[in-house]
Structure 1
Amino acid sequence: MSVQAKDIMTQQVITASPDSTLKEIASLFTTHSVSAVPVCDSSGKVIGIVSERDLLRPFEKTIAQRRDWWISVLAEGNDLAPQSVTFIGRDQHRATLLMTSPVETVTEDTELAELAEIMSRKDIKRLPVLREGRLVGIVSRADLVRAIATSSPD
């Protein structure tokens, strides 16, 4: 009997909504000790995934420099109104802007070798597992390693 995604997946998947903020997603990561969350619409369909790497993107130097440039353009040498400064400085990053999409997914019957192949070829660390188009689990690289370590030779 071969190992399939359903045999090794985490079934209680922590997810974010498309409108989740950067802060809310970071809180999910720390509260649940995860490094990524699938983003699901109201019907439970996976529309993206946000990882720790995605959360750091808004803080990259080039983005900060671009934001500073826009603030100076908007100010045109004058001080911005306090409410404008507050709005510009506020975290406007939502899951839909941070997430990677489309997401590579698998089904419950995807075999271990194929899971490993997809992760290796696509350089990804986790695969949402779907049943009839809906999220039912997630397989991480750690799940694969655990399965390999505990499997009996064929």
Structure 2
Amino acid sequence: MKTDLTAKDIMTKQVLMAYEGWSIKRLTEFFMKNSISGAPVIASDHSLVGVVTMSDILAFESKSLEEKGELLEEVYSEFVGQHYDAQTMRAMMGKADENCTVNQIMSDSVIQIDSNANLQEVAYVMLQHGIRRIFVSEHGIIKGVISTHNILTTMAK
């Protein structure tokens, strides 16, 4: 294996983005359609605001109805400017994945690495942060993504 490989040599250049206003249901469908398990999250102005993964979706799905109700209340009071009675909220809890947004489950911490970082540095940062993907940037702009799959494929060659 070449030891002088950099992040830009092994990264996947096509980075699929999720929007913070998408429903969790739409995000799940997006992940399944594209066979991915995570994506950076952008706002309507295309600014990078976070990262979301299948683990975030699973954590949401494992929440109690009460916790989902709190998230629904947050959506409707903050974004819609309305409060609903308890009976209406209970009815909406059954479709929480259609009413709660990516913004509510994403992490606002995005780990990035410079495109010129060497493979060892990439692996070290991923291990230090306990992450399975890292975004590759040049001058603060995301140019690609490296997953554990990229690293293993490179090592296998």
TM-score normalized by the length of structure 1: 0.79
Taking the aligned partners of 2:126 and 2:20, their CA distance within structure 1 comes to 24
2:20 equivalent to 1:13: no
Taking the aligned partners of 2:25 and 2:113, their CA distance within structure 1 comes to 29
Residue aligning to 1:141: 148
* Secondary structure of residue in 2 paired with 1:146: helix
Letter of the structure 2 residue corresponding to residue 46 of structure 1 = L
Q: CA deviation at 1:110?
A: 1.4
Residue aligning to 1:33: 35
Larger Cα-atom Rg = 1
Kept after mapping to 1: 8 A contact 2:41/2:51 = yes
Q: Deviations over 1:34-61 (max 9, x none)?
A: 0111102345443211111001112225
Kept after mapping to 2: 8 A contact 1:9/1:143 = yes
Please, which runs of 5 or more residues in structure 1 have no aligned partner?
none
Taking the aligned partners of 1:145 and 1:139, their CA distance within structure 2 comes to 11
The count of aligned residue pairs is 139
Kept after mapping to 2: 8 A contact 1:45/1:135 = no
2:119 equivalent to 1:112: yes
Q: CA deviation at 1:132?
A: 2.2
* Secondary structure of residue in 2 paired with 1:106: strand
Root mean square deviation of aligned Cα: 2.3
TM-score normalized by the length of structure 2: 0.77
2:126 equivalent to 1:129: no
Please, which runs of 5 or more residues in structure 2 have no aligned partner?
71-84
* Secondary structure of residue in 2 paired with 1:116: helix
Taking the aligned partners of 1:32 and 1:97, their CA distance within structure 2 comes to 22
- Percent identity between the two aligned chains: 26
Kept after mapping to 1: 8 A contact 2:69/2:90 = no
Residue aligning to 1:23: 25
